[in-house]
Amino acid sequence: MATLTRHPSTHPPLHPPTPLAPLRHWISGLEVTNRRFAHRICRLIPCCCPFERDLTVLGRTIHIPALCKLNPVYDELVALRLRALTYLADTCGEDVTQYLC
């Protein structure tokens, strides 16, 4: 009996093609191999969304959700920050607790 197999290259991409796909691919391909670059990345990309808030207006609490999830390159930026933190901790042997929330 013959079985049907798919070639790995025929699987659908993780993200559908968008105008930002080249930017997402470029960010995903960035390698962190420089201490100064790693520190800069950790300072520029926050560890958590700075926009998520609970506001109290006239006795009612309004929750503003994490708007960072609406950023189309959010996942790639978080992964880049993680690579920078890993480089600093593992390769450079630095204490990265200053960059943690």
Residue 46, exposed/middle/buried by CB under 10 A (0-12, 13-18, 19+)? middle
Tell me the pLDDT band of 4, cut-offs 50, 70 and 90.
very low
Q: What is the mean pLDDT of residues 28-52?
A: 91
Return d(Cα 45, Cα 42) in angstroms, integer.
6
d(CA 12, CA 5): 15
Is 11 a member of any domain? no
Structural domain includes residue 86: yes
What is the reported pLDDT for 43? Answer: 94
Quote the pTM value: 0.72
- Tell me, yes or no, whether 27 lies in a domain: no
Residue 49 in any domain: the answer is yes
- State the total domains in the chain: 1
Domain-located, residue 7? no
Residue 71 has pLDDT above 90, yes or no: no
pLDDT at 92 over 80: yes
For residue 75, the enclosing domain spans 34-99
Reading the block at residue 93, the tokens are 């042997």
